[in-house]
Amino acid sequence: MKFFSVRWFVAASLIGLGAAGVLSSNVGCGDSDETGNGGSGGGSGGSGGGSVVPRYADTFDTDKEMWTLSTYVDANYKNLGAASDPDSGVNLDGGMVPTLEWSGACGDPSPGCLKLTVTFSGFKEYVDPQVNVATPVDLMSGGHNIVRARIRLVSGTFPTGGVQFHVSSGLSGNNAYVYVSAPFVNSSSLVLGTWTQITLDTSTVSPTDGRVFDPSQIVQFGIQFTTGDPFEGGTSTWGQAVFEIDTITG
């Protein structure tokens, strides 16, 4: 089954920060203006600094909390994560296979986070850390519709493309794994070494394939990092980039 879809805008570089819903802070490891704590599917503390107790929280205090790289073989764009599956047939021509590891060295607001290492080599490439949730999460009511995550570029460069926060709803039938995504966050919005909050409002998004999205039945969370589509005059130098992901709450 196809558990996700690729969504981004060809003219991603034209989308501003206001539309993307990003918030940056110059905080270091273990410090933040955000609060929140707890394991996958539960937790305590405010969702994004508010008084609402999250119905879902991944804070990565001790492990990856079952997050993995998508290995979907995409016919239109190159999912570099597929190369981690020896049966996928995806070859990186000697390039390094991306990795998703747990790191206890840093985090926001407390130590413990996901560490994503990927080497991009051109346009139309992506990597997609994600997690499938066995018991659907209700993000439709009680102030839980805003899903938040913290990301930062730790080292390397991310010259084109950007990041897209996404969730899927439903486990069965025609409306299983219905994909929706937040506005595209340009790569230029990520300041080296700075944590950036990205958000997705489940009450305002809708699928593009005609199916029904149900925010009371969230079964997958993901954050896609992509180099985007080619654009006129677009030339760049890609290479290895290291990202960190922390404090995903809704």
Residue 24 to residues 34, 73, 79, Cα–Cα distance (Å)? 11, 33, 28
More confident residue, 207 or 143: 207
pLDDT tier at 44, thresholds 50, 70, 90: very low
Q: Which helix (H) or strand (E) holds 236?
A: none
Q: How far out from the chain centre does Cα 205 lie?
A: 16
Structure tokens at 76: 């239109």
Helix (H) or strand (E) segment spanning residue 225? strand 218-226
Nearest of 118, 195, 125, 117 to residue 160 by alpha carbon: 125
- The tokens for 226 are 């992509």
- Please state, in angstroms and rounded to a whole number, the distance separating the CA atoms of residues 62 and 67: 13
For CA atoms 230, 234, 235, 238, the dihedral sign is negative
The pLDDT assigned to 29 comes to 67
Q: What is the pLDDT of residue 22?
A: 57
- In whole numbers, what is the pLDDT of the chain averaged over residues? 84
According to CATH, the superfamily of the domain at 22-249 is Galactose-binding domain-like (2.60.120.260)
pTM over 0.75: yes
Distance CA 8, CA 23 (A): 20
Would you say residue 46 has pLDDT above 80?
no
Q: How far, in Å, CA of 126 to CA of 120, rounded?
A: 8
Torsion of CA 6, 10, 12, 14, to 10 degrees: -160
Task: Give the residue extent of every domain in the chain.
Answer: 22-249
Share of the chain above pLDDT 90, in %: 72
Q: Which two tokens stand for residue 52?
A: 């609402």
Summarised one tens digit per residue, pLDDT across range 128-143 is 999 999 999 999 987 8
Binning pLDDT at 50, 70 and 90, where does residue 60 land? very high
Mean pLDDT of 239-250: 97
Does 25 have pLDDT greater than 70? no
User: pLDDT at residue 12 above 50?
Assistant: no
Spell out the alpha helix ranges (H) of the chain: 17-20
Supply the pLDDT for residue 47: 38
The pLDDT, as a whole number, for residue 232 is 73
Q: Which residue has the higher pLDDT, 79 or 25?
A: 79
pLDDT confidence band for 40 (50 / 70 / 90): very low
CA distances from 36 to 67, 116, 156, 205, 246 (A): 19, 22, 29, 24, 11
* Highest-scoring range by mean pLDDT, 16-20, 32-36, 214-218, 231-235: 214-218
Query: Is the pLDDT reported for residue 91 higher than 80?
Result: yes
Phi-psi region of 86 (alpha: psi -120 to 50; beta: other; left: phi over 0): alpha
Quote the percentage of the chain above a pLDDT of 70: 79
CA neighbours closer than 13 Å in the CB half-sphere of residue 170: 18
User: Is residue 246 within 8 Å of 150, Cβ to Cβ?
Assistant: yes
Q: What tokens appear for 207 in the block?
A: 């699928």
| Encoded amino acid at 18, one letter | G
Lowest mean pLDDT among 61-75, 131-145, 213-227: 131-145
